[in-house]
Structure 1
Amino acid sequence: MYPRKLIAVMLCCLNPACKNPSHPDDTNFCSNCGTPLLLLRNRYHPIKLIGAGGFGRTYLAEDIDKLNEKCVIKQFARQTRGTYALKKAKDLFEQEARQLQKLGEYPQIPRLLAYFEDNSCLYMVQEFIDGENLLSELKQEGIFGEQKIRDLLQDLLNILQIVHEHKIVHRDIKPDNIVRRSSDRKLVLIDFGASKQLMTTVMPEHGTAIGSMGYVPMEQIEAGEAYPASDLYSLGATCFHLLSGILPWEAWKREGYSWVKCWRKYLQQPLSQELGLFIDKLLRQNYKQRYQSAEIALQELIKLPLNSSQPGEFFFSGNQPYLSQESSQESVTRTLEPSYVNSNSINSNSINSNSINSNSINSNSINPNSISSPSLQPGIPTREIISPSNFQSMLSSSLLEAPAAVSTSNNLPSLHSLALPKQSSKVKQGLTVVGIFILLSLGIYGIWSKNKETSPSVQKAETSLSSTVPSEEIVLVKTLTGHDSRIKSMVISPDSETLISASTDNTIHIWHIPTGKLEKKIANRNSHVRSIAISPDGNTLVSAHDDNKIDIWYLPTGKLVTSLNGHNSDIFSVIISEDGRTLASGSENDIKVWELATGKLQTTLKGHFAPLKSIALSPDGQTIVSASANKIKVWDLSTGELKTTIPQEAGIYSLAIAPDSRTLISVDFNGHVHRWKLKTGVLKHTLADRRDTVLSVFISQDGNTLVTGGPNNQIKIRNLRTGDLRTISTDHPDDVKSVAIAPDGKTLISGNKDETIKIWRIP
């Protein structure tokens, strides 16, 4: 340190133990501790204490070499004894600083300006972000709406993708560590736990906080472990806080860890089902069941429909949340008080250390006594002080079952479409062009109809079907109601008499197709049913659940025969072979093959690094096909050998194999229906008849008819021999999530997000 220069502002004492560090500019020594008041490195002028904790302090400062440009100084006081421990701490600090220097090249992360050691303390100087954090924004503008949360998620997931690529875990994501920069309104992630690796040698004193309670996942609380998925949990908890105005810690104190299963009841406005399920997966108790990277989460977020017409199945609708609106507002106000440092990450700049509204700086606004001797009151803390004596009892009362599982929606706008609201004039021009195009198309269609030209066959790759057959011959027979949530999966019995439907309302319904009567309703436990399959003899039903289990039912009685365990994450798809001997199930990134009669696990196939979306078994029993976000894999069922991998430009949502076992059908998020040679993986045709996601696909037993369902309430029926296309407007108010054709070829079933099932008669 060097003698200070005369500057007509406040000057802070840099003694980490000083309880009254702020002094006027004409003071040469600290009146509290006697420490000389000096500039740091004869350059950095600390003007305000903005954060403090067990490992040091954070100051707002000015860089006099840059015309008094504001910056943030993080000070890490020596907490170790012994030469080796101190050297190790210093090495780790420098290593982390270099990582942050790389991160600082990203515009939504504060730049690292300097790091050094001075007077037995370690220092890091970072860029100051002028703006308001989201906690302040919440207080001033009220709870966030859905679109605002979606925008936040997209920004933060992009930032976290960069952070995690550099092998850094933030560990303390919460509203007050996310700043909306005044200059461009961009979100900036601040308060990186630069010294989190110091925990290997530097241990906090007993009673020091171990994270921002409520935002911190169990693995970080219980074992001090942190993964990229840990940051995603904190991001989910942040979304809850901003949507509800209620601290996650308040919900935790009320519900224990099971708050992550019932968080919707605290909301004061509807939330779309898709976004709710997305947040569900961020909040999974088991980190292995969350999205495993920000990249995967971002891909799933982009797939969500822009504007869901139906609110989520769980939302605030009359039952008062735990905290009333008044107390919720009070909680928001309280959280603005000084919070305390996470000793896992040693975030000594815990109070917006990189971000302060420069117009509101008040050097007397911090009470150093409250910083060094915090006292917690019920309902207040953004961070809770936990000692070994009270932590174990709190943890034991909070170790509850895992949260409800997630099924991500797949109505997929592009990144460009997410930005449309900001380009309204261009959008209007685009819509005008589209309108003219539609009018021209209608005119051409009229000429085509008049001349009665015959329709051409399906074109080769990347061409569209050019003929459309009117759908008046396809008649709606019945609309079935009874489920309380969206339809996830449907199967039809071999005799074409029985329909089985599965829903996220945790039930399976068994219907008589000719009469539309609900014959049975079965449910085993409180878990969403993700997929169902029926055996060729019609006696066995298999259901996959979001609690990682498979149930096997005797269909004539609706009785549960057994449950299969073995998956470690949600099961997305189940299918039974044509001979009724083999059951296959697909989860996050593996496929399990079972002997259906005994429930014995035969093999596990691994090779996907993104969640599986669909699996299919060839009718000849030789091949199993699996699809994830960007790959299709073809396996030999008998040996488990990977035969071929087919890269994809867009994520695959569903698969089907033709009865001849020679053709594979895949549908993707861009609306393409691909036909592949199953044996070689060579593309035969691409049917690009829509620009929206295709959500479901089904091939008739004779192999001649292909049915797809998707957005815009439409079902498309193709004749694979002639290329003829029929389009049905279903009158469903939302997307068609599931389609099936009865074995007799005379009945088409469609299931929807609006909880209804429609039965159609095909001539």
Structure 2
Amino acid sequence: MKCCLNPDCSHPQNHDTTKFCLECGTPLILLRNRYQPIKPLGSGGFGQTYLAEDLDKLHELCVIKQFAPQVVGTAAIAKATELFEEEAKRLQQLGDRPQIPTLFAYFEQDRRLYLVQQYIAGETLLQELASQGKFSELKIKELLVNLLEILQFIHQHRVIHRDIKPANIIRRTPPKLAALGEVTQQESPSPPRTTADLVLIDFGISKQSTGTSQTELGTSLGTVGYAPQEQIQMGKANAASDLYSLGATCFHLLTGVSPSRLWQAEGDRWVDNWQQHLPTPLSGKLTKVINKLLQFDPEQRYQSAAIALADLTGNRVSSNKHKVKIKEICLLGIIPIILLLITQSYGYFKYKLAPLNQLFIITFIQNTTRQQGEFLVSACTGEQPCDRWVSSLAMSQNSDFLANGDADTKIKIWDLKTKQLRRSFNGDNFPIEALAVTPDGRMVAGAAHNGKLKIWDVTAGQLKREMGGRNYPFNTLTFSPDGQTLVGANTDNAIEIWNWQTGKLVRTLKDHTDLINSVVISPDGQTLISGSADNSIKLWDFKTGELKTTLVGHSEGIKSLAITPDGKTLVSGSSDRTIKLWDLAAGEMRKTLVGHSGAIDSLAISADEKTLASGSSDNTIKLWNLETGAIETTLLGHNRTVSFLSVTSNGKTLVSGSQDGQIKMWHFSN
């Protein structure tokens, strides 16, 4: 079948041999010479959605979103266009993840915008509710665990969904059960559920823009009943807003009662009496969690998905309780299996994971007689959700200590020799998004999600300076080589240069058009380098702020940067799954390294400039020979994206931090 792309066509489907729509006469075209629309899926304020086949991938199914907003007025159309483009940017920013549709393409053709994304076979939870009835408590707990993990991930990437509801969550049908061309499928016998069974869709929130026309309850600010009052009335949305929508979604699935209908009758205060609609009472723990998700006052709600997940799963327990759990795991024989899998994965070097006691999650050492020695194995193996994540990580230049930020909203300083906690600093009750340590190791700077910058004296344990706080969170920080200047990139796509000793903002650099994910400064302090989701790398004169040159070569956004100690080579990692090596003096790309199956989120270079380490959303760390570009080994052990990497000054230990809530120390030798 072929499908007409005229959004006003009343009968868009045509036979394969037809060249012009039999209903409206519109030419039946291939998009980008490869995407063949075959069936309309639905429509909204932004335009139409179609099921399509990718002819370059053996007719693999995909979804095409066509931008044709149902609004009037130049300002309304401009806003709708912006939101449609934002959906593409968000999908690209979030990369490849089973719980989020992958972006394949975004382009303009015949004066219309199109977004092509992964097709998810299955039915929405709204359809599942209609076909199977109200959800049980067990089913809601499973759903909450899965969705809280998804929200934890997208919120870490500073994305707020703003329209979570049953219609925007699909339960994926296992591939072997999915029939070609089917958009929904009734429940069939299926293998055990995993986190990837639930997929969060519709990141555009472009169903309706401001203008003269009105639509049903879906708006550019979310869906009333599901979205909290601060989002609907004031346009303010943050992580707590998404968590409210998740609570409303659980309520709908438990009761079969639409929050939108309750809102029409009672307004936002329907949440005060939500329990009276339950067919049967819930357990105390689940009641407490949903009740906190649905708090009218945003300050009384959960402020992060990680904290809600902790309350739901009960992972916040004492060390003694964790030891009991660990003993049970050992008795079941799981740890030896994990150890065997890990040890078999190591190749050229011999690695061992060093003990790092009680860092984020309770850990222990499992002794083994294998050549690799001792391995640290966490009680949080990825099969169960963690109530902490590694939101930021920084190591002192002499490798004396490690600083981390996590869901506790504090900065923790760990002694790398004793593996003990030295100090912790309060982060203003906001997750710490970025960290940096001065070259002399005396000061640590932390950026909270509220946009504030704080600098502490590590030895004295005193707050020395507080700066910023303009509601634009910093997603990366670094100190200049002389330690006098702090540089940060914020979510306003700007680089801010601060004299941290005076607390004065020295300069703001703006030329990137999208999120800046990484900044580094050359060892001689002359050049500031920034990498952005706009696919470009920019080199700035650090003293004057003048833009010197722009490096272009990646096909997708830049996620990470590293520079060799001699200052001659820049290494960039991208969402396009490649690593590129650049000659900084010539401003030319020298080499492209390919080996990861996911975005390159972190990079580190050994002091001897021989080894490059890369961490990826494919959950692996790869070690490369920096001279030849060959992969020397792949390290397995993390269960989520490896977001942070650092090599100790002696070059013998690699430290990795991951969204699985674990920090690992990898020791290696020839």
> Are 1:520 and 2:423 matched, yes or no?
yes
Match of 1:642 in 2: 547
Deviations 1:148-169 (A, max 9, x none): 999xx9xxxxxxxxxxxxxxxx
C-alpha separation in 1, matches of 2:515 and 2:525: 24
Which of 486, 490, 495 in structure 1 is aligned with 2:389? 486
TM-fit CA distance, 1:691: 1.9
TM-superposed CA distance for 1:521, in Å, is 2.8
User: Deviations for 1:126-170, whole angstroms, at most 9, x for unmatched residues?
Assistant: xxxxxx9976754654458769999xx9xxxxxxxxxxxxxxxxx
What letter is aligned with 1:197?
A: T
Q: Is the 8 A contact 1:698 1:739 kept in 2?
A: yes
Aligned to 2:20: none
Kept in 1: contact 2:44–2:208 (CA 8 A): no
For the structure 1 residues 136 and 748, does the alpha-carbon distance in structure 2 shift closer, same or farther, using more than 3 Å as the test?
closer
- Counterpart in the other structure of 2:595: 689
RMSD: 5.2
Q: Aligned residue for 1:346?
A: none
2:646 is the alignment partner of 1:743: no
Contact 1:665–1:675 at 8 Å: present in 2 too? yes
Alignment partners' CA distance in 2, 1:493 and 1:190? 42
Q: What is the CA deviation profile of residues 22-59 of structure 1, one whole-angstrom value per residue up to 9, with x for unaligned ones?
A: xxxxxxxxxxxxxxxxxxxxxxxxxxxxxxxxxxxxxx
Deviation at 1:595, TM superposition (A): 0.8
Aligned-partner Cα distance in 1 for 2:587–2:660: 36
- Following the alignment from structure 2 to structure 1, what is the Cα–Cα distance between the partners of residues 145 and 420? 43
**What pairs with 1:609-620 in structure 2 (closer than 5 Å)?**
609-620=513-524
Distance verdict in 2 for CA 1:740–1:320, change over 3 Å: same
Determine which of 249, 274, 297 is the counterpart of 1:242.
249
CA apart distance, 1:111: 10
- Does the alignment pair 1:475 with 2:482? no
Native 8 Å contact 2:46 2:207 kept in 1: no
> Quick one: higher RCO (CA 8 Å, sep 6+), 1 or 2?
1
- Whether the 8 Å contact between 1:483 and 1:505 is mirrored in structure 2 is no
- Of the three residues 189, 197, 216, the one matched with 2:212 is 197
Task: Give the residue type in structure 1 aligned to 2:497.
Answer: V
Q: Partner residue of 1:52?
A: none
- TM, length-normalised to structure 1: 0.47
Is the 2:643–2:657 contact (alpha carbons within 8 Å) kept by the matching residues of 1? yes
**How many residues align structurally?**
431
Query: C-alpha displacement at 1:230, in angstroms?
Result: 7.9
Q: Does 1:553 pair with 2:456?
A: yes
Distance in 2, matches of 1:594 and 1:541, equals 14
**Preserved CA contact (<8 Å) 1:216 1:233:** no
- Of 662, 675, 684, the residue aligned with 2:581 is 675
Q: Does 1:660 align with 2:574?
A: no
Structure 1 residues 718 and 110: CA distance shift in structure 2, 3 A: closer
Query: Residues 684 and 402 of structure 1: is their aligned pair in 2 closer, same or farther, counting only changes over 3 Å?
Result: farther
Per-residue CA deviations over 1:572-621 (Å, capped at 9, x if unaligned) read 01100111111101111111000122221001111223222111112211
> Is the 8 Å Cα contact of residues 225 and 248 (structure 2) preserved in structure 1?
no
Name the amino acid aligned to 2:527.
Answer: T
Give the distance between the partners of 1:755 and 1:741, measured in 2 at CA. 19
Matching of residues 597-636 of structure 1 within 5 Å: 597-629=501-533, 630-636=535-541
Shift in Å at residue 244 of structure 1?
A: 4.5
For 1:495 and 1:190, the matched residues in 2 are separated by 47
**1:548–1:570 CA contact under 8 A, matched in 2:** yes
Structure-2 change in CA distance of 1:480 and 1:645 (3 Å):
farther
Indicate how the Cα distance of structure 1 residues 583 and 112 shifts in structure 2: closer, same or farther if over 3 A, else same.
Answer: closer
Partners of 2:355 and 2:128 in 1: CA distance: 50
Contact 1:480 1:756 (8 Å CA) reproduced: no
Tell me the distance in 1 between the aligned counterparts of 2:646 and 2:209: 54
* Aligned residues of 1:173 and 1:234 also touching (Cα < 8 A): no
Distance 1:133 1:757 in 2: 36
Q: Tell me how far apart the structure 2 counterparts of residues 617 and 532 of structure 1 sit (CA, whole Å).
A: 15
- Cα pair 2:573 2:580 within 8 Å, conserved: yes
Q: How far did 1:688 drift?
A: 0.4
Secondary structure of 2:248's aligned partner: helix
Alignment of 1:132-531 (within 5 A): 138=129, 141-142=133-134, 185=184, 197=212, 212-213=224-225, 215=227, 218=230, 220-222=232-234, 240-245=247-252, 247=259, 253=269, 319-321=285-287, 398=297, 400=299, 404=303, 470-484=347-361, 485-531=388-434
User: Does the CA-based 8 Å contact 2:390-2:659 persist in structure 1?
Assistant: yes
For the 8 Å contact 1:694–1:711, the answer to whether it is kept is: yes
Conserved? CA contact 1:713–1:729, under 8 Å? no
User: In the TM superposition, what is the alpha-carbon distance from 1:645 to its structure 2 partner?
Assistant: 2.7
Letter in 1 for 2:350: E
Note the C-alpha offset of 1:689: 1.7
Looking at structure 1, the residues matched to 168 and 635 of structure 2 have their Cα atoms a distance apart, in angstroms, of 48
C-alpha displacement of 1:562: 2.1
Check the 8 A contact 1:667/1:697 in 2, yes or no. Answer: yes
CA distance in 1, matches of 2:268, 2:402: 42
Compute the displacement of 1:538 (Å): 0.9
Q: Which SS does the other structure have where 1:478 is aligned?
A: coil
Q: For residues 492-534 of structure 1, what are the alpha-carbon distances to aligned partners after superposition, in whole Å with 9 as ceiling and x for unaligned?
A: 2233222222223322222222232222233332111112111
Contact residue 556 and residue 575 of structure 2 kept, 8 A: yes
Q: Note closer, same or farther for the CA distance 1:682–1:231 as it changes in structure 2 (3 Å cut).
A: same
Aligned to 2:479: 576
Residue 603 of structure 2 corresponds to residue 700 of structure 1: no
Measure the CA separation in 1 of the matches of 2:499 and 2:238: 39
Please, what TM-score do these two structures have when normalized by structure 2?
A: 0.53
Distance change >3 Å, CA 546–CA 724, structure 1 → 2: same
Q: 1:705 corresponds to which letter in structure 2?
A: T
CA distance in 1, matches of 2:428, 2:652: 35
Q: Deviations over 1:107-127 (max 9, x none)?
A: 5899999x9xxxxxxxxxxxx
Tell me: CA distance 1:728–1:317, structure 2 relative to 1, closer, same or farther (3 Å).
Answer: farther
For 1:185 and 1:713, locate their aligned partners in 2 and report how far apart those are by CA, in whole Å. 31
Maintained 8 Å contact 1:470/1:727: yes
TM-fit CA distance, 1:709: 1.9
* Aligned counterparts of 2:589 and 2:583: Cα–Cα separation in 1: 6
How many percent identity over aligned positions? 30
How far 1:192 sits from its partner (Å)? 7.2
Q: Which residue does 1:97 correspond to in 2? A: none
Q: Deviations over 1:59-100 (max 9, x none)?
A: xxxxxxx9xxxxxxxxxxxxxxxxxxxxxxxxxxxxxxxxx9
1:719 aligned to which of 621, 625, 640? 625
Q: Which residue of the other structure, out of 533, 545, 554, is the alignment partner of 2:436?
A: 533
Q: Distance in 1 between matches of 2:485 and 2:206?
A: 53
Residue type of the alignment partner of 1:586: A
Q: What letter is aligned with 2:440?
A: D
Shift of 1:669: 2.1
Gaps of 5+ in 1: 1-65, 67-99, 116-131, 154-170, 200-209, 260-265, 269-315, 329-378, 380-393, 408-467
- The change in CA–CA distance for 1:755 and 1:251 in structure 2 (over 3 A counts) is farther
Q: CA 1:235–1:496 in 2, change beyond 3 Å: closer, same or farther? A: closer
Q: Deviations over 1:427-481 (max 9, x none)?
A: xxxxxxxxxxxxxxxxxxxxxxxxxxxxxxxxxxxxxxxxx99344333332443
CA spacing shift, 1:244–1:559, aligned 2, 3 Å: farther
